[in-house]
Structure 1
Amino acid sequence: MSYEHITCDLDGPIMTVTLNRPDRLNAYTGQMGAEIAQAFERADRDDNVRAIIVTGAGRAFCAGADVSGGAASFDTSGKYGAGVFASSKQSGGRFVEAIFNCRKPSIAAINGPAVGVGITMTLPMDVRIAARGAKIGFIFARRGLVPDAGSAWFLPKLVGLPQALRWCLSGRTFDADEARDGGLVSEVVEPAELLHRAREIAREMTEATSAVSVALTRQMLWRFAGAPAPFELLDIDKPMSIERGGHADVREGVQAFLEKRSPSFPGKVSQDMPSQYPWWQDPG
């Protein structure tokens, strides 16, 4: 599949999505949003893909929305605003859903400036690491906008409400160290080591784990992290554990542990998800 605003490369089980408008600091467009969604949907369907890394070409991760239209850049009555928001139903609005629903873990390798949608697009991803010197900002209040891409839901879950309020209400930019101290990114590394470290993290999550278990676990954690009580989860995890207990993945995991060797899990996300999945769509 060919893309215009991103590139997509597969190296073994790791897919790397690169935002690819370096001449514009990878400024976001509706087309970019659509292509990100397509890449994540492709990864979700492909059993050969176990993890996804997202980074930026050149010196930026993503400098926010493309403001080539000047003051009218967000006015949807003109072509520039229409291009930025083209995603709302067909493309760009879908990238959040595609990342969130993807059954493969994702890592944002923030190599440079990430502001506005350039940082909010990373929030549905599972891990964020940043290069030393990267600048980050939830700058919406300084543009007369509101936080986008579901970030008013994601950000407080990740960093807590007080920190989310402080960053979003001021709209200021801050450095990678502050992002780490506030819980937004887990690590700050030297720029030359960023992708290497992202691949290490991807391998940690994939080399000795069941693809099906990882897919289920990330959905359980994301969907129940804010639940008011554990009872709905208990109604799901017990029958799911019982069903999984009879699967070849579990037999292999236990046998590998007993034999002190690395497991080779046979389960495939495309065909071995338990009958309870997706539980949030169960009308009962």
Structure 2
Amino acid sequence: MSAMEQIDYEVAGSVATITLNRPENGNGFTQVMRRELIDALEQADSDDDVRVVIVTGAGRHFCVGADVSSGKSDQPFAYGPGEDTGPVPMSVDGIPRDGGGMVALRIAEMQKPVIAAINGAAVGVGVTMTLPMDIRICAESSRFGFVFARRGIVQEAASSWFLPRLVGISQAMEWVATGRLIPAAEAREGRLVSRVVPDGEVLAAAREIAAEIVENTSSLAIAAARRLLWASLSEPSPWTAHQHETRLIRELKQGPDYSEGVASFLEKRPPAFTGRLSSDLPDLPDWPARPATTSAPDGAGTGGTA
């Protein structure tokens, strides 16, 4: 992976940490950041030694939203100062795709669990990009804002799909319609985050959860479980989940991790799972499905579903 300008990427203890790194701008989202985030997610997903991904922000804030400092009010989520000058590499209905949505859908497609360690403000795309992440932890001083209507636009990053499924339609509509800042306690009560921790402890809390996943679970089972849970949100019947679960249970039992999971339980010892996503993962439900109107220029990579 090439050197990054606006994020940091490091791997330690089977955990990849992606840090938004524009602290002087509140980690404002740019097209450079969009491209680098997708590259980092691709790197983490293709590395068998990475089991969990943590996303956090450098400095006081997680991400204060799109960088509109260039004054380009006609395209506040497209291009800003010093950013990529090439086209957004895909389109929907012939229109260049929303950059936040490209990141969100790549996160949705991940095989590894993704934890948001939210410090300070998460506003606009700073909060919507976290919605497809699996676990969101925030600091006591964190503030969230779905401020789009106050800027004369609609929410992005596929949040119209994710937000009401996470918090319910009534809570989602209140936050979107008012565009007000939401304190951490309200975010926890409204199920936007699962945990609120003291300032300065959010990354440590995320790493504690990540370590528990790494030390105790099968990467194959986690990848399958993650896909089943997210994909089932849009299924009309539990029979579809039953169908997928029946097949995956059978196939995972024939793989390298099931016998070790049972043996470690019976022998009262920590498991030593050896299954690798690159070679041992059964076929998973296809999700998120790409619409037929989504296209890429000749020679451009699709970046998976994103």
TM-score normalised by length of structure 2: 0.86
CA distance in 1, matches of 2:137, 2:205: 9
* Structure 2 unmatched runs, 5+: 92-96, 290-306
CA distance in 2, matches of 1:172, 1:74: 23
CA distance in 2, matches of 1:79, 1:61: 20
Deviation, structure 1 residue 238: 0.9
1:225 aligned partner:
233
CA distance in 2, matches of 1:181, 1:55: 22
CA distance in 2, matches of 1:271, 1:237: 20
Pick aligned residue for 1:277 from 271, 279, 284: 284
CA distance in 2, matches of 1:206, 1:110: 21
Corresponding position: 1:243 with 2:251? yes
- Alignment CA distance shift 1:22-1:208 (3 Å): same
Please report the RMSD computed on the Cα atoms of aligned residues, expressed in angstroms.
2.2
Larger CA deviation: 243-252 vs 178-187 = 243-252
CA distance in 1, matches of 2:158, 2:4: 25
Q: How does 1:96-175 map to 2 (within 5 A)?
A: 96-175=104-183
CA distance in 2, matches of 1:122, 1:79: 21
1:60-114 CA distances to partner (integer Å, 9 max, x unpaired)? 11010001122x33438x9639959964728934312221111110111110111
Corresponding position: 1:19 with 2:20? yes
- Alignment CA distance shift 1:154-1:69 (3 Å): same
1:44 aligned partner:
45
Q: Is the 8 A contact 2:102 2:157 kept in 1?
A: no
Q: Is the 8 A contact 2:227 2:285 kept in 1?
A: no
* Count of aligned residue pairs for this structure pair: 278
Deviation, structure 1 residue 237: 1.4
2:55 aligned partner:
54
Q: Is the 8 A contact 1:34 1:87 kept in 2?
A: no
Corresponding position: 1:75 with 2:83? no
3-state SS of paired residue (1:192):
coil
CA distance in 1, matches of 2:89, 2:195: 32
Deviation, structure 1 residue 185: 0.5
Question: Partner letter of residue 18 of structure 2?
Answer: V
3-state SS of paired residue (2:43):
helix
CA distance in 1, matches of 2:164, 2:285: 25
CA distance in 1, matches of 2:74, 2:89: 13
Question: Partner letter of residue 73 of structure 1?
Answer: S
Q: Is the 8 A contact 1:9 1:17 kept in 2?
A: yes
Corresponding position: 1:3 with 2:4? yes
3-state SS of paired residue (2:279):
coil
Higher relative contact order (CA 8 A, sep 6+): 2
Question: Partner letter of residue 146 of structure 1?
Answer: V
CA distance in 1, matches of 2:106, 2:230: 14
Deviation, structure 1 residue 268: 0.5
CA distance in 1, matches of 2:182, 2:89: 28
Q: Is the 8 A contact 2:30 2:79 kept in 1?
A: no
3-state SS of paired residue (1:221):
helix
3-state SS of paired residue (2:222):
helix
1:179 aligned partner:
187
3-state SS of paired residue (1:41):
helix
The percentage of aligned residue pairs carrying the same residue is: 47
CA distance in 2, matches of 1:238, 1:278: 13
Pick aligned residue for 2:274 from 249, 263, 266: 266
1:8-45 CA distances to partner (integer Å, 9 max, x unpaired)? 11111111101011111100001101111111111110
Deviation, structure 1 residue 220: 0.5
4+ aligned runs moved over 2 Å, structure 1 = 72-76, 78-94, 276-281
- Alignment CA distance shift 1:83-1:149 (3 Å): farther
Normalized per residue, the structure richer in helix is 1
